Structure 1
Amino acid sequence: MRNARLGNTGIAGVNRRLGNTAIAGVTVVALCGGAWLLRSGAETHPPPQPSAAQAHSARGGAAELDAAPALAPSPPDRVRIPAIQVDAPLTGLALTRTGSLDVPPAAKKNLAGWYEAGTTPGEKGTAIVAGHVDNAEGPAVFYDLGALRKGSPIEVDRRDGSVAVFTVDAVEVYDAKDFPDEKVYGAAARPELRVITCGGGYSRATGYRGNVVVFAHLTGSR
């Protein structure tokens, strides 16, 4: 895959930065070429895309007040986003032989993945969760990700029995050519989460033009 479409080739150029667990140096993410839209002729009904109102605020700062203390590292097993009816198991994603991040099997449309060589959700740093927006059969796990709103909760079940609770700070969409690698994958001083799928409009010729990215930070645990 090239640019921001997530197909079987995954996320290009993912590297683990020495000294922290952030993912950096990524070209762009792409999770699906829009096989369902192409086959069904549903170009007029693509996945929802975030509005400008859901982007990061120029003021910022408020999210720092409710940030929760970091948790000890523990692999995640499940992600839940009640506002868009996501309740999905998580599988570990490793790097391919070409250095790109693999993606969940497209046939399992209710399966998401996390970058298991990086930060675990809830510990200090930037944790990455990715999933398909659709497959050849129809909408997949993160089809409605672009409809998520600021303030929405995201829960991650962790293998140690705890649940990491994140709050959405922003939902943004980027064209492949303008994907902000450092903003999405860069190091964080607190526990943060990125949830990513493809989006940014759809073309029959090239598939999805970019990616939808949810930015969230840890606000609690139980």
Structure 2
Amino acid sequence: MPGAKGGGVRALGLVAAALTVTGAALLGGGALLSDPTPPLPSPDSARAQPSSAAARLVLPRSEPRRLDVPRIGVHVPLSRLGLNADGTVQVPPVDRPEQAGWYARGYTPGERGAAVILGHVDGGGRKGVFYELGRLRPGDKISVTRADGSVAAFAVRSVERVAKRRFPAQRVYGRLNHAGLRLVTCGGGFDRRSGHYTDNIIVYARLIEPPA
């Protein structure tokens, strides 16, 4: 897997197919919840909304420090995630489901490309940071505070539920002509035999001009 510096990060689109296992790796401890039924996106949310944001609207590279998603009450610091020894993408520790992490070998939020933030739906018998992710709707705002002090403001364009076996690695990690953001967690039904949720919930967002 190429590193984040130089041309390596630009090659993410070429290796996205190898990251499909990320969908399965995002674990949820739903078996420990009395009612593991996180909200699901509405059918209308899966249809991408038109965006007036210009492709040229981008920010220089700067690592993210904090994620704020007001609609679902998420206000958390971000950790750095890399790759496991087997080449799969790391996820936050399942026993700390309140944590969210940024895939540090990819793009930073605000750069031209798809920045990816991962979080659990639940774990350790507790709701996770992205338990309510399915409630987001097109137009909802997301902000990411960056190491350089700037805030990258995003608007949700679509929210989809996909089967893990069909995880859209290219759409999540692939090349873009604009600054995009993806929030990813588990969702759908919970398979008690495997101990995993059957689906992923994925939010697709695009950089916008923040309020003056």
Tell me if TM exceeds 0.5.
yes
Using the size of structure 1 for normalisation, the TM-score is: 0.83
Closer/same/farther in 2, CA of residues 42 and 191 from structure 1, 3 Å limit? same
Structure 1, unpaired ranges of 5+ = 1-13
Q: Quote the RMSD (CA, aligned, Å).
A: 2.1
Structure 2, unpaired ranges of 5+ = none
Query: Alpha-carbon deviation of 1:91?
Result: 0.4
Question: Is 1:181 the equivalent of 2:172?
Answer: no
Map 1:148-187 → 2, pairs under 5 A: 148-187=136-175
Q: Is the 8 A contact 1:154 1:167 kept in 2?
A: yes
Closer/same/farther in 2, CA of residues 98 and 19 from structure 1, 3 Å limit? closer
Q: Distance in 1 between matches of 2:26 and 2:176?
A: 28
- The aligned amino acid for 2:106 is G
The answer to which structure has the higher helix fraction is 2
Aligned residues: 202
Q: Which residue of 1 aligns with 2:101?
A: 113
Q: Is the 8 A contact 1:75 1:120 kept in 2?
A: yes
% same residue: 39
- The aligned amino acid for 1:125 is G
Q: Structure 1: which 4+ aligned runs deviate by more than 4 Å?
A: 14-19
Q: Which residue of 2 aligns with 1:5?
A: none
Question: Is 1:195 the equivalent of 2:178?
Answer: no
Map 1:1-222 → 2, pairs under 5 A: 18=8, 20=10, 22=12, 24-25=16-17, 26-28=19-21, 29-30=23-24, 32-35=26-29, 37-43=30-36, 46-57=37-48, 62-63=50-51, 65-67=52-54, 69-206=57-194, 207-221=196-210
Q: Distance in 2 between matches of 1:98 and 1:31?
A: 12
- The aligned amino acid for 1:53 is D
- The aligned amino acid for 1:51 is S
Does 100-109 or 193-202 show the bigger shift? 100-109
